[in-house]
């Protein structure tokens, strides 16, 4: 082999190898290409074999170039192979391919908490009757929670509201702040701010320092209602709450009012609905009585109107308060109020 020819061959081989590699568009053609250059009788292999017949100087020169080209061709071969495989898997339904016909992974979908649902449902019933939704603070002054609702200090009714007091002292050393024990303070707050006519419903958290059991939680939701205007009567209270019961518990519901005592209403009542589970004959749900108590209500006490600056000679009103969790328990057959705050997805996912 003449001097210099080897080097020119390597150079020419490199150029043709690269352009043919570029043109190889299947794994079969890639294999043909590999055999024709680097197979046992391939062109590059032959050059490497012919090194033995060269002068030492030429051998070093051509050998070095041929080995660098070999490394380069092997690397390019690998890259080309990857590219062809990628292109193939994109186009066909092969194993590693992305199969567009497969169903996707379902994204877990959240939902509204059952308390939120029932609160919204109850509110919308009252909204449709012209009541407006307002909200107030959960950390409340003793004045709104008790005094303005005709529950002065040392009044025995305070015993019924086991109060969580806030650790805050005023300048007299008194502790006048608490976690509201009911949503009734919103009656006083709203009347203080707004002239009648008033028609509001006010949902929110309430707190009582109580042992928990299946029907008691120390934190629970309440919905307060208040309507104040000239000539509001007990008949208005009955009509409004009857309509509420029918809309939430069904068209055939009967309601029953019995005397009850709350310092901020006079007369005060508790309202029951006939048991929708047994139809009034008596079952476990209604403890055999045929009736289920669902809320407290009454005509706003004149002292409460006056304390909030409403003239009780001109205006009268009714108020009611209910526990949405208890309403949801009845409506959906939930037997433990603690489930509402237990964060158990098996429970929550049912709503
Ligand atoms: N606030 C009372 C309670 O928590 C319920 C109630 C509200 C009763 C309004 C009468 C009028 O028990």
* Averaged pLDDT score across all residues of the chain: 91
pLDDT tens digits for range 228-244: 999 999 999 999 999 99
Same domain, 192 and 61: no
Same domain, 143 and 87: no
Same domain, 221 and 285: yes
Is-above-0.75 flag for pTM?
no
pLDDT tens digits for range 277-321: 888 888 887 889 999 899 999 999 999 999 999 999 999 999 999
In a domain, 21, yes or no: yes
The DSSP symbol for 91 reads H
Domain of 52, in residue numbers: 5-96
In 3D space, the residue among 261, 302, 310 whose CA is nearest the CA of residue 155 turns out to be 261
What CATH number does residue 33 fall under? 1.20.58
* Ligand 1 atom with the shortest distance to the CA of 182: 4
Same domain, 128 and 69: no
Same domain, 75 and 120: no
pLDDT tens digits for range 55-103: 888 888 888 888 999 899 999 999 988 888 888 777 665 556 677 888 8
Q: What whole-number distance in Å separates Cα of residue 351 and Cα of residue 341?
A: 14
What is the best residue among 189, 260, 296 to mutate for testing ligand 1's pocket, by most ligand atoms within 8 Å of CB?
Answer: 296
Same domain, 343 and 269: yes
Of all residues in the chain, the percent with pLDDT exceeding 70 is: 96
What is the best residue among 160, 264, 299, 326 to mutate for testing ligand 1's pocket, by most ligand atoms within 8 Å of CB?
Answer: 264
Q: Is the CB of 265 under 6 A from ligand 1?
A: yes
* Overall number of domains in the chain: 2
Same domain, 143 and 227: yes
In a domain, 106, yes or no: no
Closest-CA residue, ligand 1 atom 9, reads 320
pLDDT tens digits for range 178-222: 999 999 999 999 999 999 999 999 999 999 999 998 888 999 999
Same domain, 295 and 343: yes
Same domain, 341 and 297: yes
In 3D space, the residue among 292, 298, 291, 300 whose CA is nearest the CA of residue 329 turns out to be 292
In a domain, 322, yes or no: yes
SS3 326: helix
Q: Which residues contact 181 (CB under 8 A, 6 or more apart)?
A: 145, 161, 162, 163, 206, 207, 208
Q: Is the CB of 220 under 6 A from ligand 1?
A: no
In a domain, 108, yes or no: no
Strands (E), 15-97: none
What CATH number does residue 324 fall under? 3.30.930.10
């Amino acid at each position: 082999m003449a001097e210099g020819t080897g080097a020119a061959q390597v150079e020419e081989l490199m150029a043709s190898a690269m352009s043919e590699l570029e043109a190889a568009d299947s794994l079969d053609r890639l294999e043909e290409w590999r055999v024709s250059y680097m197979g046992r009788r391939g062109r590059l292999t032959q050059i490497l074999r012919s090194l033995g017949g060269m002068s030492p100087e030429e051998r070093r020169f051509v050998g070095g170039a041929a080995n660098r080209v070999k490394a380069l061709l092997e690397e390019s071969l690998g890259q080309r192979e990857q590219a062809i495989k990628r292109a193939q898997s994109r186009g066909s339904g092969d194993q590693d391919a992305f199969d567009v016909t497969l169903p996707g992974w379902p994204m877990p979908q959240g939902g509204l908490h059952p308390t939120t649902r029932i609160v919204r449902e109850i509110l919308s019933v009252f909204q449709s009757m012209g009541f407006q939704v307002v909200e107030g603070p959960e950390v409340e002054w003793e004045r709104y929670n008790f005094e303005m609702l005709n529950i002065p200090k040392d009044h025995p009714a305070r015993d019924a509201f086991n109060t969580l007091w806030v650790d805050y002292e005023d300048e007299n050393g008194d502790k006048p702040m608490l976690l509201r024990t009911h949503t009734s303070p919103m009656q006083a707050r709203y009347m203080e701010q707004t002239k009648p006519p008033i028609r509001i419903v006010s949902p929110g958290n309430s707190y009582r320092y109580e042992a928990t059991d299946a029907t008691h939680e120390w934190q629970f939701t309440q919905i307060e209602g208040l309507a104040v205007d000239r000539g509001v009567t007990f008949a208005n209270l009955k009509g409004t709450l009857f309509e509420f019961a029918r809309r939430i518990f069904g068209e055939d519901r009967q309601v029953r009012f019995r005397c009850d005592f709350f310092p901020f209403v006079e007369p005060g009542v508790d309202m029951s609905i006939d048991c929708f589970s047994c139809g009034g004959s008596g079952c476990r749900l209604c403890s055999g009585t045929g009736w289920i108590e669902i809320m407290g209500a009454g005509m706003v006490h004149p002292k409460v109107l006056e304390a909030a600056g409403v003239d009780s000679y001109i205006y009268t009103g009714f108020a009611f308060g209910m526990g949405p969790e208890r309403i949801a328990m009845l409506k959906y057959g939930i037997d433990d109020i603690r489930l509402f705050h237990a964060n158990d997805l098996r429970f929550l996912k049912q709503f």
